[in-house]
Structure 1
Amino acid sequence: MDATLQYLLDLLDLEPIERDIFRGDSHASVIPRVFGGQVAAQALVAACRTVPEDRLPHSLHSYFLRAGDPGSRIVYTVDRIRDGRSYATRRVVAVQHGQPIFTLSASFAKAEEGLEHQDPMPDAPDPETLPTADELLPRYADLFWDPGVVKLLLEARKAIDLRYVNEPPFGTAGRQREPRAQVWFRVNGKLAGEYDNPVLHLCLGTYVSDMTLLDSVLLAHGRGGWMTGDTVGASLDHAMWFHRPFRADEWLLYDTDSPTSQSGRGLARGRMYTRDGRLAVSVIQEGLMRVPR
């Protein structure tokens, strides 16, 4: 297994310090705060640790309250809100320096048969035909507020093979486009043995879900985002619905769009499809979107 993927898996392997209380490390980030996908994934791991194995998360709803300190560990406390015959509910609070930085509510359910339909998978080129991050990002170094951002970004995302279908917003700054973006992604390695379990695949999908979701908002306004310095942004809330099983070590298409932005906030929607066209996850997030004065 690639060392960077092992590092990410270790990051999600929380330390139990008391019943329903866990502690996790923080990952070095290219921005001076904890990456939102990390704290969301760790909070989901904490919730999953308190639920029977026959129940998997089918939805989560969360709020980012404060910027996390990437230099300090995070404590996650879990409240067992309800345990029913088929469903269970958990509430998680992430704490640093005595203050809550993130809250998450998750609902878990046993698998069962029912009515089924889905939106068809949108068209997208095969991921193998697209440039890797190592090939793509250096092309835009001159557009970033600091060329050194390329190296930091590549290091931060090394555990994830993420490939842009269209030109990313930092490459089209100043040119408005349709508020829609697509990326293919998978983790850089095969998950086997103790790591091949459905909970970990769901938590890794949660980790990646916060990486490019707000790109569609930026595209609508011809903005490059924090990388080019023309927009200040941060995740405010994050909701996910897990529809069908998926593997995080196999290609997933993340198709996102933005229906609106206003009042310094932008709304983005995302859908993750497996390569064979199954709709696996739906995501909605509102993010802070401010233009520097």
Structure 2
Amino acid sequence: MSQALQGLLDLLDLEQIEENIFRGQSRSAVVPRVFGGQVAAQAMVAAGRTVPADRLAHSLHAYFLRMGDPGAPIVYNVERLRDGRSFTTRRVVAVQHGKPIFTLSASFQTDEEGLDHQAPMPPSPDPATLPTSEDRLRSYGHLDPQVVERLLEAREAIDLRYVDEPPYGKFGDPREPHSQVWFRTNGKLADDPLLHVVLATYVSDMTLLDSVLLAHGRGGWAIGDVVGASLDHAMWFHRRFRADEWLLYDQESPSAHGGRGLGQARIYTQDGRLAVSVIQEGVVRVPW
């Protein structure tokens, strides 16, 4: 396991300070606030620690309420809404400085057989043939070197590879609002299914709104032509997967309007199984 991945796992780990109450540390993202994927992932850790181990996460629905302060811990309060024969439901409120900054509802289910079909995996190149994040970022002479270093630091624990140029790599002309990214952790993980859900949740907030920017030829915060933040986030975990093995994040944007943009995506395993569906809406504002 890489040192960066171990650091991320330590960050996502939580201290239990009372029954149903957990505390997590935070750190700055590539912008001066707590990364939304970190808060969502920590909230899933908190919820999962109150659920029997034989129940697997199958969905989450979350709202980002306030910017997180990277200099202060985050307290996660878990409400046990329901413990049924097949399903368990939890609600988590993340609090900083006495105010809620994030809420999440998560549902867990016992493993069972049922009807089975899925949308086919779209074509995509082998991730091993694609440039690494570091190779791409260091080739962009138009980016501020400090921005490059912040992006590299934020993604050090994750091997994340764009199929095509990211918004900040090629901008100015509108492109199809569709983006593909392959990702996996930079190191092996334990077999705990919740851990792989938590890591996928963390990564899912990194690139989902890229497709909104592509439709308008915008490069995003990295070049300063867009101001953005996540508003809400939903995920459905259809099949078991491993976050330490290649996953294809196939993303598109059906709409942007009123200072908001919508991204929707599917995450596939390398052998073509549909593992996760994701939808997110975010603030996408032009600062002039």
Residue 134 of structure 1 deviates from its aligned partner by 1.2
What's the CA shift string for 1:234-259, capped at 9, x where partnerless? 00000000000000100000000000
SS of the equivalent of 1:115 reads coil
Residue 9 of structure 1 deviates from its aligned partner by 0.7
Structure-2 separation of matches of 1:13 and 1:170: 32
Structure-2 separation of matches of 1:104 and 1:93: 7
Task: Look up the match of 1:183.
Answer: 181
Task: Look up the match of 1:155.
Answer: 153
Q: Which amino acid aligns with 1:204?
A: L
Task: Look up the match of 1:39.
Answer: 39
- Give the TM-score, by structure 1 length: 0.97
Matches within 5 A, 1:125-164: 125-142=125-142, 144=143, 146-164=144-162
Structure-2 separation of matches of 1:88 and 1:27: 31
Q: Which amino acid aligns with 1:248?
A: A
Task: Look up the match of 1:166.
Answer: 164
4+ residue stretches of structure 1 with deviation over 4 A?
A: none
Task: Look up the match of 2:210.
Answer: 215
Structure-2 separation of matches of 1:43 and 1:113: 28
SS of the equivalent of 1:196 reads coil
Q: Which amino acid aligns with 1:234?
A: A
Task: Look up the match of 1:68.
Answer: 68
SS of the equivalent of 2:207 reads coil
Residue 138 of structure 1 deviates from its aligned partner by 1.3
Residue 219 of structure 1 deviates from its aligned partner by 0.3
Structure-2 separation of matches of 1:166 and 1:288: 24
Q: Which amino acid aligns with 2:174?
A: Q
Task: Look up the match of 2:232.
Answer: 237
What's the CA shift string for 1:156-211, capped at 9, x where partnerless? 110000000011111221110000000000000011xxx32101001000000000
Q: Which amino acid aligns with 1:226?
A: W
Residues 1:204 and 2:199 are matched in the alignment = yes
Residue 147 of structure 1 deviates from its aligned partner by 2.6
Residue 141 of structure 1 deviates from its aligned partner by 4.0
Task: Look up the match of 1:89.
Answer: 89
Q: How many residues matched?
A: 288
Task: Look up the match of 2:30.
Answer: 30
The percent identity for this pair of structures is: 72
8 Å CA contact 1:20–1:78 kept in 2: the answer is: yes
Structure-1 separation of matches of 2:205 and 2:141: 22
Structure-1 separation of matches of 2:261 and 2:181: 19
8 Å CA contact 1:60–1:240 kept in 2: the answer is: yes
User: Structure 1 pair 99/141, CA: closer, same or farther in 2 (3 Å)?
Assistant: farther
Task: Look up the match of 2:249.
Answer: 254
SS of the equivalent of 1:148 reads helix
Task: Look up the match of 2:98.
Answer: 98
Structure-2 separation of matches of 1:166 and 1:204: 23
Residue 100 of structure 1 deviates from its aligned partner by 0.4
Residue 95 of structure 1 deviates from its aligned partner by 0.4
Q: Which amino acid aligns with 1:254?
A: Y
Task: Look up the match of 2:282.
Answer: 287
Structure-2 separation of matches of 1:34 and 1:28: 5
- RMSD (Å) for aligned C-alpha atoms: 0.8
